[in-house]
Structure 1
Amino acid sequence: MSSSNIRDLQRELENKANDLSKLQKDIAKNHQVRKKYTIQLGENELVLKELDLLKEDANVYKLIGPVLVKQDLAEANANVRKRIEYISAELKRLDSTVQDLEEKQNSKKETILKLQQKMQTLQAGKGKA
């Protein structure tokens, strides 16, 4: 009876460890995406600073594929601001997601620790018998 309990606990422990591994991969993936967005945010803020330095009548060009297309300064400014707004919102969303994943990860770690302790107790009891 006791050895089947230990086997059941081992199976459960393996499943929880697999879940934990998946969560850790998701966290790593989110960190990579967040890093990409952070870089894009920095680039766009730099572009906005450059646009702010220009005079009203300055020529602004946007690269579309292999072609430079003339663009209105106000329109370029608005586009960059919208992009910054979007990227900032995505960063907030990613932060929230990572926080949730990290809470789940901590919960899984606690569950795994409790299962390990339970197994050790059962094995110690079996060894004495």
Structure 2
Amino acid sequence: MASSSTSQLRELQRELENKANDLNKLQKDIGKNHQVRKKYTIQLGENELVLKELDLLSEDANVFKLIGPVLVKQDLAEANANVKKRIEYISAELKRLEGTLQDMEGKQNSKKESIIKLQQKIQALQAGKAKA
């Protein structure tokens, strides 16, 4: 009987270790998601600022775009369209990342709950073993 509970305890501890590793990996992924979202949020702010600046210009103003080490003259309407498309893209990416984050946080919560239940099982098994 003692060896049965010992092997059961070892199995539960191995399962607990696996779940803890999964939770750790998930938390790292959540951290990466936050970093990427932060980067996109900064880019969104920069592009919105550029759009405001472009709106202040007159139709005949010279607009230049930096391509590598060279400034290339660009049409104001084209520059406006490019910046708006970039803002659209960044906004869509932020929405996608937000959805992914919510999904990962849900998985994280369920993993935490299963780890707590597993720890309770182990404690109960150890308490039963201590009584015997």
TM-score under structure 1 length normalisation: 1.00
User: Is 1:45 aligned to residue 45 of structure 2?
Assistant: no
Matches within 5 A, 1:28-107: 28-107=31-110
Taking the aligned partners of 2:70 and 2:5, their CA distance within structure 1 comes to 73
Do structure 1's residue 109 and structure 2's residue 95 form an aligned pair?
A: no
What percent identity do the matched residue pairs reach? 84
Distance in 2 (CA, whole Å) between partners of 1:37 and 1:91 is 7
Unaligned runs of 5+ in 2: none
Code of the aligned partner of 2:63: V
Is 1:3 matched with 2:6? yes
Q: CA RMSD in A?
A: 0.3
> SS at the partner of 1:58?
coil
TM-score (norm 2): 0.97
Unaligned runs of 5+ in 1: none
1:93 Cα deviation after fit: 0.3
After TM superposition, give the deviation of residue 16 of structure 1 in Å: 0.0
Q: Helix, strand or coil for the counterpart of 2:107?
A: helix
How many residue pairs match? The answer is 129
Shift of 1:21: 0.2
Distance (whole Å) between structure 2 residues aligned to residue 43 and residue 24 of structure 1: 29
Shift of 1:6: 0.3
Instruction: Quote the offset at 1:66 in angstroms.
Output: 0.3
Partner of 1:21: 24
Which stretches of structure 1, 4 residues or longer, exceed 3 Å deviation after superposition? Answer: none
Deviations 1:25-77 (A, max 9, x none): 00000000000000000000000000000000000000000000000000000
